[in-house]
């Protein structure tokens, strides 16, 4: 079981390819707050709902100083299809080796339909301008999660 991040921890830096194969690093967002969310798979119902919710609220979040990055174990090609099909405007990054998922505590044992399985734990980590964890939310629901973040952050 990977350690979960706590508020005040340094957010592990990462560099991953986006849907177009361009490298994106967390450190490249220094000076802005970043909502990094982890989801199991592109083009699935729950993950689509969550990605569309973030896209629908992107202007509100950006206006409050937040960038949004979604990370899954999918390959860049699948992320590009996901982005095009759903008209997503958030940054989607590919972590097929699951190294970033593990570093953030977003990969490990979870309950799925009453069984214990190993996989992506739907999680959201909010990183402040200095690269420190402001909030770390694990086992979040796909539906209603973005509205809850907005409310909790007072946006």
Which residues are annotated as catalytic?
Answer: 47
For strands 66-72 and 91-94, give the pairing.
parallel
Between the CA of residue 48 and those of 81, 98, 144, what are the distances in Å?
12, 20, 13
Instruction: Tell me the DSSP string of 85-129.
Output: HHT--SEEEE-TT-HHHHHTT-EEEEEETTEEEEEE--EEEEE-T
Which is nearest to 73 in space by CA: 124, 29, 112, 17?
17
Distance between CA atoms of 39 and 51, rounded to whole angstroms?
A: 9
CA 34 to chain centre: 10
CA-to-CA distance for 124 and 115, rounded, in angstroms?
23
Radius of gyration for the chain, computed over Cα atoms and rounded to the nearest angstrom: 14
């Amino acid at each position: 079981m990977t350690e979960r991040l706590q508020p005040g921890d340094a957010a592990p830096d990462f560099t991953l390819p986006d849907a177009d194969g361009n490298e994106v690093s967390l450190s490249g967002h220094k000076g802005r707050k970043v909502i990094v969310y982890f989801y199991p798979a592109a083009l699935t119902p729950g993950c689509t709902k969550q990605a569309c919710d973030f896209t629908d609220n992107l202007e509100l979040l950006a206006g409050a100083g937040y960038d949004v990055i979604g990370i899954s174990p999918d390959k860049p090609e699948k992320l590009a299809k996901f982005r095009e099909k759903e008209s997503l405007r958030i940054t989607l990054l590919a972590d097929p080796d699951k190294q970033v998922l593990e570093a953030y505590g977003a990969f490990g044992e979870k309950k799925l339909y009453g069984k214990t399985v190993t996989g992506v734990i739907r999680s959201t980590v909010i990183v402040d301008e200095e690269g420190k964890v402001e909030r770390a939310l694990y086992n979040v629901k796909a539906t209603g999660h973005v509205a809850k973040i907005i409310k909790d952050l007072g946006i």
